[in-house]
Homo-oligomer: A and B are copies of this chain.
């Protein structure tokens, strides 16, 4: 029998990984009756105006030297920060409503840098009708930009990660891989229209965004839904010039990963109203019948794993 290491003996966050530490930090949390989904999905889901409405609540940070380099144009830094949070709203099938901007930056920063960061946020906010309702500045050694977002689903429920059943088809939007190398991670379009369409029409039984790489994110969806999966690696929609490994592990794709019941897969392909590519990449399985559904030996992006 292997005893689990107590947290105090783990030397650093790098040894635990972001997900492992978050699980430890929040495992004893108990939510009140107005919380429909808390930790473990793309957004928190809260009681809305009526039984058919939900509020979505999300915060997300980008850090200089981790999510962008000192050379990244400031406008794209702002764009990326809001885009990531919007992608999480898309991953519930929601509509974004309000955002707050918390920006920590060195006191020696040129004010024009802050202004460009704000412009990047504002441009994307306008495009997706997000109301910017407040900002806060603090002093730090490197730029840390945190966006807090409120969104909603009005008249339909948000789609959680946990709704997939064995037999459901696995789908992704767009193409995977090479996002960091190509600069797409700074300019990706959050899949809000696609997410809302999938949720409103009841197409998707489970839904999340692919932000850490399919190899990291698919196991999360499968675990939340208690299914295994078979992945058709040949069919993975790779970004031009990307290897299979890159498509699986690069991360920062910000595409949607979702499941569809078998009887709705044909209609889905017929009625998909977007120019965004739609690919069936596999199928959900009973946990016992897994043929490929193991945590891959490669892994996606994890903030604290340094290897």
Known contacts being A14-B108, A100-B148, A115-B7, is A135 close to B35, with CB within 8 Å?
A: no
Known contacts being A21-B114, A111-B10, A134-B58, is A98 close to B141, with CB within 8 Å?
A: no
What residues of B have a CB within 8 angstroms of the CB of A43 in the complex? 134
Interface size bracket, A side: 35 or more
Known contacts being A104-B61, A140-B142, A304-B137, is A46 close to B114, with CB within 8 Å?
A: no
> How far is B143's CA from A83's CA once the two chains are assembled, in angstroms?
24
Q: A44's contact among B55, B66, B100, by CB below 8 Å, is which?
A: B100
Q: State whether A35 touches B146 (Cβ < 8 A).
A: no
Q: State whether A100 touches B58 (Cβ < 8 A).
A: yes
Interface status of A286 (Cβ within 8 A of chain B)? no
Q: State whether A137 touches B22 (Cβ < 8 A).
A: yes
Apart from A59-B102, A61-B102, 20 more pairs, CB < 8 Å: A12-B107, A12-B111, A21-B114, A26-B132, A32-B131, A35-B131, A39-B133, A44-B133, A44-B134, A57-B98, A57-B100, A57-B134, A57-B150, A59-B100, A61-B104, A61-B138, A65-B141, A107-B304, A139-B304, A146-B146
20 pairs of residues in contact across A and B, judged by CB atoms under 8 Å: A7-B111, A8-B111, A10-B111, A13-B111, A18-B138, A21-B137, A25-B115, A26-B132, A38-B132, A38-B133, A44-B134, A46-B133, A49-B49, A55-B150, A57-B148, A59-B102, A59-B134, A63-B138, A63-B140, A138-B303
